Amino acid sequence: MELRESIENYQPFDNDEEEIKSRIIRNMDIYPDVLTRDNDKCHFASSALVLNKERSKALVVYHNVYRSWLTPGGHADGDSDLLHVALKEVEEETGQKATVLDDNIFQLSISPIVGHMKREKFVKPHEHMDAFYLLEADDSLPLTYRPDESQGVKWIPIEGLLDEDNTVSFMHPVHKRMVKKLIRDGYIKK
């Protein structure tokens, strides 16, 4: 399925996510290349909510730029198969070969990215249009991380995605919506 079609077919969880979906489609209409970082206004990224087999833990990475624990993910860099991007990023960022629980988009988000230095170059503020996918990995296998991108990787209890004191992530609305969807869709019990 083509990227645009998969986004158009995506059923938002709530009104906020409906607006996010509409903004992503508008951006795809306005900007010629939303799949690469050449578009310095907004571009696609792909992330994964990686669960263990028992559905009691989620995999997070401490990102150097954002100084926060986040779900693994990265830039599309020209690849319109965002599920492929999510799988690749999980392996690169955590060392885990994840399996797909659902090949449809699990969640859409738009995140503001603050200006920052990366590899001695300034990256202008922009937005990431992010497609999240639901994956599974074995929490008994060793984890690895890339020191140039992160300071660590770990499994946290699912409840950690609801962390109110900002120690897990700055993207609380995204994570809270994910947990609500996991409950609604029967992946976890409340």
> Distance of CA 91 to CAs 9, 66, 73, Å?
28, 20, 10
Query: Which H or E element spans position 30?
Result: helix 15-30
Structure tokens at 109: 């988000």
What does the pLDDT look like over 92-134, one tens digit per residue?
999 999 999 999 999 999 988 877 677 788 778 889 999 999 9
Q: What is the domain partition of the chain in residue ranges? A: 3-184
pLDDT at 32: 85
What does the pLDDT look like over 4-40, one tens digit per residue?
999 999 999 999 999 999 999 999 999 989 999 998 8
How many Å apart are CA 13 and CA 114, to the nearest integer? 27
What does the pLDDT look like over 77-87, one tens digit per residue?
999 999 999 99
Residue 180 has pLDDT above 50, yes or no: yes
Report whether 113 contacts 125 (CB < 8 A).
yes
How many Å apart are CA 48 and CA 116, to the nearest integer? 23
Domain 3-184 carries which CATH code?
A: 3.90.79.10
Q: Note the pTM of the prediction, 2 decimals.
A: 0.91
Assign 170 a pLDDT band (cuts: 50, 70, 90).
Answer: very low
Mean pLDDT within 51-69: 89
Assign 90 a pLDDT band (cuts: 50, 70, 90).
Answer: very high
